[in-house]
Structure 1
Amino acid sequence: MHRRDFTRTLAALAATAALPKFATAQAQQAAIRFSVMLWTLNKISPTEKSIELVAQAGYQGVELVGEWQKWSPADYARITSRTRALSLTIDSMAGVRGFADPATKDQLLADLAVALEAAKRLNCPQIILTSGKRTAASSHEACIEILKPVTDLAAKADKQVVIEPIDLLENPTSYLTSVTEAAEISRAINNPHLRVLYDLYHEQRQGGNLIEKIEKNIDQIALFHIASVPGRHEPSTGEVRYEAAYRRIAELKYNGFIAMEFYPTSDALTSLRTAREEAQRAITNV
């Protein structure tokens, strides 16, 4: 090995060693991985059957919304065992909200503590947070002050929180509606335990200009969500040219999860497999 290459290797190892455990595991992944938000399959099959369907379609991860909040200890054990047997990761889980209103701060922290304990039981590295309702007291400054202790809690648990903007067509009361603003908040907190979920479905409905926003904010993005606009169906069926978005994400060396969050319009197994294969073709040889 040449001295220059050796120096680069040492620098890379040192940088990886300095990362939190969840981020170290992420950094060691060489390729983008694909996941499915399980709630989109709820009308088709129960959770465990959906997990099997996702594995059959060739994905590496599954994501939860609020399913985990109703599970018994036996449910946790069974789901964890099943995902492990199918070589799936529970890569992210939602169900916590409310960082835009100072009045909800204490409840948010209490809810997050419960979610972090659940994430530990499920070996899940990431919690999704939405801002909740916009109130007279809502502001970016208020969000930052609330998210600081949120980030501290996540850091103590060695987990990552990702904040997700929701478009106003989906929820007219949502405070955080833009990935650009989410990235500004994340940069202000400046902690790897807090990053941004970029949902291209929500962003297209809210403001568009998807690829430029990927380019400007990739340093803060730790998860992507995908669905067609309009309709929240298969990615290739709407107005967004996802092939170009996937390619740019790969060109920017993103190596986290891209999660499909759409309602299949045909056979779910075929639909999910096709969506993954289309994405993988787009990023091949980038």
Structure 2
Amino acid sequence: MLFTELPFVDRVRRLHDLDFEVEIWDWSTKDLPALAATGAVFSSMTGYLRGDLTTEDGIAELLSTAEESLRRADVIDSPRLNLHGTGLDPNGLPLRPRETPTGSDWIAAADTLARLAELARRAGRVFTLENLNTAVDHPGTPFARAADTLALVRAVDSPALRLNLDLYHAQIGEGNLIELVRTALPWIGEIQVADVPGRCEPGTGEIRYEAIAAVLRDLGYDGVVGLEAWAASDSEVALRAFRQAFVV
């Protein structure tokens, strides 16, 4: 989402030169050996290509492409692989919309995530389940709220399945971010941030990320905070604002 004027490998090099780790989305469109050759440290990548958590065919696809994703994670040594409540198309829309899951959907989703966690455990990696928002970016996505993803991760209760707590999405869908961070802390594998509205760097919208950073420090959080945001103007300016917000 940054340095979009550059070829992808050059974006990775630029972030590495600026002393940031790198996250990538769909690995199937990337030259993973070329990315590994940059020397960058990769924090996360997409953990599946197709599928969902609840339907028979979707579960089979999800598990199959998750296994392939784990193998590809070895190339760039990505410790975390990201999941959503269902497969998303290139525009971020759910391939199988279902905004209100049934009770049986919840049971199936927890079972599927437990199977994924076991795959990750054997591979020495972690799947992270990301919350999304349905009001702006991902309408119709099941298990989208942070409360939903937290409930599922708690139900599975495996170190190989954690939350990717996206505070941009949570602000749009739920708000009350500081209390959300406090509640979710034991299950967080990563935190992602962008400001609201606009999905740009901290300081461009309504979220006071400095206050959230202070709470994270006080809680002893020492994990990754990822900037999943567009630059409001210049990518380096955006990265400086991000770093400033989280240096406490």
TM-score, normalization by structure 2: 0.88
Q: Given residue 78 of structure 1, which amino acid in structure 2 is its aligned partner?
A: A
Q: Given residue 9 of structure 2, which amino acid in structure 1 is its aligned partner?
A: E
2:4 to 14, 22, 43: 43
CA distance in 2, matches of 1:187, 1:81: 37
Question: Which 4+ residue blocks in structure 1 deviate beyond 6 angstroms?
Answer: none
Map 1:227-266; keep pairs closer than 5 Å: 227-266=194-233
CA distance in 2, matches of 1:271, 1:47: 18
Q: Deviations over 1:195-252 (max 9, x none)?
A: 1010000000001010101001100011011101000012111011111111111211
2:45 to 93, 96, 106: 93
Q: Given residue 214 of structure 1, which amino acid in structure 2 is its aligned partner?
A: V
CA distance in 2, matches of 1:163, 1:101: 15
Structure 1 contact 102–146 (Cα < 8 Å) conserved: no
- The offset of 1:56, in angstroms, is 3.6
Map 1:1-286; keep pairs closer than 5 Å: 40-41=1-2, 43-59=4-20, 61-66=21-26, 68-71=27-30, 75-82=31-38, 84=39, 88-94=40-46, 96=48, 98-103=51-56, 104-132=58-86, 133-135=96-98, 139-169=105-135, 170-280=137-247, 283=248
- The offset of 1:145, in angstroms, is 1.1
CA distance in 2, matches of 1:201, 1:161: 20
Q: Deviations over 1:51-81 (max 9, x none)?
A: 122134332x100101x2034xxx3322112
Structure 1 contact 101–134 (Cα < 8 Å) conserved: no
Q: Which structure has the greater CA radius of gyration?
A: 1
Percent identity of equivalent pairs: 27
CA distance in 2, matches of 1:216, 1:76: 36
Q: Given residue 192 of structure 2, which amino acid in structure 1 is its aligned partner?
A: H
Q: How many residues align?
A: 233
Q: Given residue 22 of structure 2, which amino acid in structure 1 is its aligned partner?
A: V
Alignment match, 1:29: none
CA distance in 2, matches of 1:259, 1:278: 12
CA distance in 2, matches of 1:89, 1:252: 26
- The offset of 1:184, in angstroms, is 1.7
CA distance in 2, matches of 1:42, 1:140: 39
